[in-house]
Amino acid sequence: MNKLLGMFELQQELNDSTNGKGWENGTTKNGKKINWRRCITMESAEMIDSFGWKHWKSIAQETDYANLQIEIVDVWHFVMSLVLEFAHKTGTETISELVERIAQTPEYQKINSDAALSFGGDDLLMFRIENVMRLSLIPVSPEMIGALIEEFFELAHLGALNATQLYRLYVGKNILNQFRQDHGYKEGSYIKVWNGEEDNAVMKRAWDENPDMAPKQLYDALKSAYPA
């Protein structure tokens, strides 16, 4: 199975379902403006909070690497969305052609195996996160899109996410996002902390405990654990 193509197709489906067909033109079905670059910036800022970077508060805080990986996957949702939007607007490539080109980049090849990866140093990780943020703040162009994709995969590599782990966490988060939408996320009634634990952590633990379950089974596991 082509994991990279699978993720792009799932992201297209999620955006079609959540935002409505035609979201690539920059607005949702409700007329809300979409800014994927800002999404990347803000999610990257949340990623930084996985580190004990504040010199004036919680100075003994250790890096939360499990949360870091979840945040990397969150950013991946928005990077793919920006890439899909750009491809739609330029009309130069199909999703399959786009993915084939991305798959050949040296940065993707670094993670394209089942081999276990180690976390890079915190300074290096922070450098890559801030590079992703920097790129997300400049105007979109073919060069910007290419550089952003490269920086993201460098970040995933330093975040110890090989292609299989990235795919599994992405699918898990994709299912969680669907679950959130089905349970009042847009309306503001969704409960994000379940019995003292954030839903991201519940999802990851369910996946880890039963790695062979199908996506629908993961959805059902979340439904059973939801406190409402």
Residue 140 near residue 88, CB atoms below 8 Å: no
Domain encompassing residue 162? 3-170
Please check whether residue 130 lies inside any domain of the structure.
yes
- 105, part of any domain: yes
Give domain status of residue 125, yes or no: yes
Q: Provide the 3-class DSSP secondary structure of residue 174.
A: helix
Residue 116 domain flag: yes
Average pLDDT along the chain: 92
Angstrom CA distances, 22 to 12, 51, 181, 193, 226, stand at: 11, 37, 19, 32, 32
Domain membership of residue 218 (yes or no) is: no
Domain assignment present for residue 199? The answer is no
Domain at 65, CATH number = 1.10.4010.10
176 lies in some domain: no
Model confidence over 29-83: pLDDT tens digits?
999 999 999 999 999 999 999 999 999 998 889 999 989 998 999 999 999 999 9
Is residue 178 one of the residues assigned to a domain? no
Q: What global pTM score does this model have?
A: 0.87
